[in-house]
Amino acid sequence: MEKRVIVYYSRTGTVRQVAEQLAAQTGWPLAEIEDVRSRTGFIGGMRSLLDNLLLRRPQYRYGGQALAECEHAVVLAPIWAGRLAAPMRAFLEDQEPFEAKLSAICVMGGRGGFGAIEEISRIAGKVPSPALVLRRRDVVSGLAQQELLGFVAESVAVEQRVDAAKRSAWLSPTEA
Protein backbone atom coordinates (compact mmCIF):
# COMPACT_ATOMS: atom_id res chain seq x y z
CA MET A 1 0.00 0.00 0.00
CA GLU A 2 1.33 3.43 -0.98
CA LYS A 3 1.41 5.78 1.97
CA ARG A 4 0.78 8.87 -0.16
CA VAL A 5 -0.51 9.62 -3.62
CA ILE A 6 -0.69 12.84 -5.64
CA VAL A 7 -4.02 12.96 -7.48
CA TYR A 8 -4.28 15.72 -10.06
CA TYR A 9 -6.43 17.02 -12.87
CA SER A 10 -5.00 19.39 -15.47
CA ARG A 11 -6.72 20.74 -18.56
CA THR A 12 -3.94 23.02 -19.84
CA GLY A 13 -0.86 21.44 -18.25
CA THR A 14 -0.22 24.00 -15.50
CA VAL A 15 -1.48 21.77 -12.68
CA ARG A 16 0.41 18.84 -14.25
CA GLN A 17 3.58 20.95 -13.99
CA VAL A 18 2.95 21.49 -10.26
CA ALA A 19 2.15 17.80 -9.73
CA GLU A 20 5.35 16.73 -11.46
CA GLN A 21 7.41 19.20 -9.42
CA LEU A 22 5.81 17.90 -6.21
CA ALA A 23 6.49 14.29 -7.23
CA ALA A 24 10.12 15.13 -8.10
CA GLN A 25 10.63 16.76 -4.68
CA THR A 26 8.97 14.00 -2.67
CA GLY A 27 9.02 10.74 -4.62
CA TRP A 28 5.26 10.38 -4.08
CA PRO A 29 3.48 8.61 -6.96
CA LEU A 30 1.25 10.49 -9.41
CA ALA A 31 -2.32 9.55 -10.35
CA GLU A 32 -4.06 11.56 -13.07
CA ILE A 33 -7.74 12.25 -13.56
CA GLU A 34 -8.40 12.51 -17.31
CA ASP A 35 -11.37 13.72 -19.30
CA VAL A 36 -13.35 11.16 -21.28
CA ARG A 37 -14.26 13.91 -23.82
CA SER A 38 -11.61 16.33 -25.00
CA ARG A 39 -11.70 19.89 -23.62
CA THR A 40 -9.41 21.39 -26.26
CA GLY A 41 -10.23 24.49 -28.23
CA PHE A 42 -13.10 26.93 -27.91
CA ILE A 43 -15.78 24.25 -27.55
CA GLY A 44 -13.81 22.47 -24.82
CA GLY A 45 -13.34 25.75 -22.98
CA MET A 46 -17.06 26.55 -23.17
CA ARG A 47 -17.97 23.06 -21.96
CA SER A 48 -15.57 23.51 -19.03
CA LEU A 49 -17.21 26.80 -18.12
CA LEU A 50 -20.73 25.35 -18.37
CA ASP A 51 -19.77 22.24 -16.39
CA ASN A 52 -18.70 24.49 -13.54
CA LEU A 53 -21.49 27.05 -13.69
CA LEU A 54 -24.19 24.37 -13.90
CA LEU A 55 -22.40 22.03 -11.44
CA ARG A 56 -22.47 19.20 -13.97
CA ARG A 57 -20.67 15.92 -13.27
CA PRO A 58 -18.46 15.18 -16.27
CA GLN A 59 -17.22 11.68 -16.97
CA TYR A 60 -13.57 11.07 -16.17
CA ARG A 61 -10.95 8.32 -16.15
CA TYR A 62 -8.78 7.59 -13.14
CA GLY A 63 -6.01 5.03 -13.42
CA GLY A 64 -4.41 5.50 -10.03
CA GLN A 65 -4.55 3.55 -6.83
CA ALA A 66 -7.87 3.59 -4.99
CA LEU A 67 -7.78 6.27 -2.31
CA ALA A 68 -9.21 3.77 0.17
CA GLU A 69 -5.84 2.01 -0.10
CA CYS A 70 -3.84 5.18 0.67
CA GLU A 71 -3.10 6.86 3.95
CA HIS A 72 -2.76 10.38 2.52
CA ALA A 73 -4.00 11.95 -0.71
CA VAL A 74 -2.66 15.24 -2.05
CA VAL A 75 -5.17 16.61 -4.56
CA LEU A 76 -4.21 19.22 -7.15
CA ALA A 77 -6.79 20.99 -9.28
CA PRO A 78 -7.32 24.11 -11.35
CA ILE A 79 -9.93 26.75 -10.66
CA TRP A 80 -12.52 27.33 -13.38
CA ALA A 81 -14.84 30.32 -13.16
CA GLY A 82 -13.95 30.81 -9.50
CA ARG A 83 -14.72 27.18 -8.49
CA LEU A 84 -13.04 23.80 -8.24
CA ALA A 85 -12.70 22.22 -11.70
CA ALA A 86 -15.67 19.96 -12.45
CA PRO A 87 -13.67 16.74 -13.09
CA MET A 88 -11.93 17.00 -9.71
CA ARG A 89 -15.23 17.79 -7.99
CA ALA A 90 -16.82 14.70 -9.58
CA PHE A 91 -13.85 12.53 -8.58
CA LEU A 92 -13.95 13.69 -4.95
CA GLU A 93 -17.71 13.15 -4.77
CA ASP A 94 -17.15 9.57 -5.94
CA GLN A 95 -14.69 8.92 -3.10
CA GLU A 96 -17.23 8.97 -0.26
CA PRO A 97 -16.47 8.19 2.45
CA PHE A 98 -13.11 9.93 2.17
CA GLU A 99 -10.97 8.17 4.73
CA ALA A 100 -7.42 9.14 3.73
CA LYS A 101 -5.71 12.20 5.17
CA LEU A 102 -6.10 15.08 2.76
CA SER A 103 -3.93 17.94 1.48
CA ALA A 104 -4.75 20.21 -1.44
CA ILE A 105 -3.18 22.56 -3.94
CA CYS A 106 -5.35 24.71 -6.21
CA VAL A 107 -4.07 26.74 -9.14
CA MET A 108 -6.04 29.85 -10.08
CA GLY A 109 -5.84 32.49 -12.75
CA GLY A 110 -6.89 35.29 -10.43
CA ARG A 111 -9.58 34.28 -7.96
CA GLY A 112 -11.49 31.42 -6.39
CA GLY A 113 -8.67 29.41 -4.84
CA PHE A 114 -9.79 29.65 -1.24
CA GLY A 115 -13.40 28.95 -2.21
CA ALA A 116 -12.19 25.81 -3.98
CA ILE A 117 -10.36 24.69 -0.83
CA GLU A 118 -13.65 25.15 1.05
CA GLU A 119 -15.41 23.14 -1.66
CA ILE A 120 -12.89 20.31 -1.28
CA SER A 121 -13.48 20.41 2.50
CA ARG A 122 -17.23 20.19 2.07
CA ILE A 123 -17.10 17.32 -0.41
CA ALA A 124 -14.49 15.28 1.50
CA GLY A 125 -15.93 16.06 4.93
CA LYS A 126 -12.53 17.21 6.21
CA VAL A 127 -10.29 20.24 5.96
CA PRO A 128 -7.19 19.70 3.80
CA SER A 129 -4.00 20.20 5.78
CA PRO A 130 -1.92 21.73 4.47
CA ALA A 131 -3.70 23.63 1.71
CA LEU A 132 -2.02 25.87 -0.84
CA VAL A 133 -3.37 28.24 -3.48
CA LEU A 134 -1.05 29.18 -6.32
CA ARG A 135 -1.45 31.72 -9.11
CA ARG A 136 -1.02 30.34 -12.60
CA ARG A 137 1.44 33.09 -13.55
CA ASP A 138 3.65 32.17 -10.56
CA VAL A 139 3.68 28.51 -11.59
CA VAL A 140 4.57 29.34 -15.20
CA SER A 141 7.30 31.82 -14.17
CA GLY A 142 8.77 29.50 -11.52
CA LEU A 143 7.97 31.83 -8.61
CA ALA A 144 5.72 29.20 -7.03
CA GLN A 145 8.67 26.87 -6.39
CA GLN A 146 9.34 28.31 -2.90
CA GLU A 147 5.68 27.99 -1.92
CA LEU A 148 5.69 24.38 -3.11
CA LEU A 149 8.77 23.62 -0.99
CA GLY A 150 6.98 25.12 2.00
CA PHE A 151 3.93 22.95 1.26
CA VAL A 152 6.09 19.82 1.26
CA ALA A 153 7.74 20.80 4.55
CA GLU A 154 4.36 21.49 6.16
CA SER A 155 2.89 18.28 4.76
CA VAL A 156 5.70 16.22 6.29
CA ALA A 157 5.38 18.13 9.59
CA VAL A 158 1.62 17.47 9.70
CA GLU A 159 2.29 13.78 9.08
CA GLN A 160 4.82 13.67 11.93
CA ARG A 161 2.41 15.45 14.31
CA VAL A 162 -0.37 13.02 13.41
CA ASP A 163 1.94 10.04 13.91
CA ALA A 164 3.11 11.43 17.26
CA ALA A 165 -0.51 11.91 18.36
CA LYS A 166 -1.16 8.21 17.70
CA ARG A 167 1.50 7.15 20.23
CA SER A 168 0.03 5.82 23.43
CA ALA A 169 0.33 8.17 26.41
CA TRP A 170 2.10 5.57 28.52
CA LEU A 171 4.88 5.39 25.91
CA SER A 172 5.54 9.12 26.02
CA PRO A 173 8.41 10.34 28.16
CA THR A 174 7.53 12.24 31.33
CA GLU A 175 9.03 15.57 32.21
CA ALA A 176 11.50 15.58 35.09
pTM for the model: 0.84
CATH for 105: 3.40.50.360
Q: How far apart are CA 64 and CA 115, in angstroms?
A: 26
Can you give the pLDDT at residue 52?
82
Q: Quick check: is 155 in a domain? A: yes
55-96: per-residue pLDDT in tens?
889 999 998 888 888 889 999 999 988 889 999 999 999 987
Contact 83, 117 (CB under 8 A): no
Q: Quick check: is 78 in a domain? A: yes
Residue 64 belongs to what domain range?
Answer: 4-171
Identify each DSSP E strand in the chain by its residue range: 4-9, 30-35, 60-62, 72-80, 83-84, 101-108, 131-135
Name the domain count of the chain.
1
Q: How far apart are CA 151 and CA 131, in angstroms?
A: 8
92-122: per-residue pLDDT in tens?
999 877 888 899 999 998 888 889 999 999 9
Cis upstream peptide for 87 (omega within 30°): no
Nearest to 19, CA basis, from 4, 35, 7: 7
The SS3 of residue 99 is coil
Q: Quick check: is 176 in a domain? A: no
CB neighbourhood size of 128 (10 A): 20
* 68 CB burial (10 A radius; 0-12, 13-18, 19+): exposed
13-68: per-residue pLDDT in tens?
999 999 999 999 999 999 999 989 888 889 888 888 888 888 889 999 998 888 88
Number of H helices, E strands in the chain: 6, 7
